[in-house]
A and B are shown apart, each in its own frame.
Chain A
Amino acid sequence: AQSVTQLDSQVPVFEEAPVELRCNYSSSVSVYLFWYVQYPNQGLQLLLKYLSGSTLVKGINGFEAEFNKSQTSFHLRKPSVHISDTAEYFCAVSDPNTGNQFYFGTGTSLTVIP
């Protein structure tokens, strides 16, 4: 089975500063990769996804991520964060050969400090 490691459980960052949330996955076979955001008492909202093509993926709200196959990583970045970015962020992997279910990491809590 696939597994995902989110290396930082909590990331505090000042408003307008850049941020990187780290994600590594276990498999060396072809995988699809995703980042989701979860606001308090809400479901998951897709930020961006990598299925194929360019390794630099741009998503909503100014987020982007880079797929690095050799390092099995898919780190999420934003050049300038806002207070409204405070939320829980989940990295997920899916193996298209075994179905379209997700394997999620344990999440990174991003807190933007005014």
Chain B
Amino acid sequence: DAGVTQSPTHLIKTRGQQVTLRCSPKSGHDTVSWYQQALGQGPQFIFQYYEEEERQRGNFPDRFSGHQFPNYSSELNVNALLLGDSALYLCASSPGTSYGYTFGSGTRLTVV
């Protein structure tokens, strides 16, 4: 049974550009959460999607937006990239509001 799949695994973008990261949740999971993990730091909560709507949001600017599709997969979009957006972006899926999270291996974003 496949776990959480994230794509791409790595990418490099130029400051000011826009980026889209993708996440396919574990089978049977309908809730997707996104976290940003800067180098040497713990993951920070960006937002959570359930039933195609943003249910909760952390302390991130509006440059960070997302979407959830009917098949529960999700995208994270970041506009006007800054050097400080360089990080590992983790997607985690869960069944509803439970704590049965499964984390993906992440997308490593480098902004130059």
Minimum CB distance partner of B33 in chain A? A101
Q: How far is the CA of A101 from the CA of B49 in the complex (A)?
A: 11
With a cutoff of 8 Å between Cβ atoms, the chain A residues found around residue B48 in the complex are: 99-101
Taking the closest CB of chain A, its distance from the CB of B40, in whole angstroms, is 7
Q: How large is the interface on A (under 10, 10 to 19, 20 to 34, 35 or more residues)?
A: 20 to 34
Taking the closest CB of chain B, its distance from the CB of A107, in whole angstroms, is 5
With a cutoff of 8 Å between Cβ atoms, the chain A residues found around residue B98 in the complex are: 100
Contact B42 A105 (CB under 8 A): yes
**Given A44-B43, A90-B43, A106-B40: A100 in contact with B99 (beta carbons within 8 A):** yes
Q: Is B71 at the interface (CB under 8 A from chain A)?
A: no
Within 8 A of B (CB), among A1-59: 1, 4, 32, 34, 36, 41-46, 49, 51
Q: Is B105 at the interface (CB under 8 A from chain A)?
A: yes
With a cutoff of 8 Å between Cβ atoms, the chain B residues found around residue A99 in the complex are: 48, 55-56, 97
Q: Is B44 at the interface (CB under 8 A from chain A)?
A: yes
Q: Give the number of residue pairs across the A-B interface with Cβ within 8 Å.
A: 55
Contact B94 A100 (CB under 8 A): yes
Contact A43 B90 (CB under 8 A): yes
Q: How far is the CA of A12 from the CA of B43 in the complex (A)?
A: 23
Q: Is A74 at the interface (CB under 8 A from chain B)?
A: no
* Interface, chain A (partner B; CB < 8 A): 1, 4, 32, 34, 36, 41-46, 49, 51, 90, 92, 94, 99-107
Question: Could you give 24 example pairs across A and B, Cβ below 8 Å?
Answer: A1-B59, A32-B99, A34-B99, A43-B4, A43-B92, A43-B104, A44-B92, A49-B99, A92-B42, A94-B99, A99-B55, A99-B56, A100-B94, A100-B97, A101-B33, A101-B45, A101-B48, A101-B56, A101-B58, A104-B42, A106-B40, A106-B41, A106-B42, A107-B40
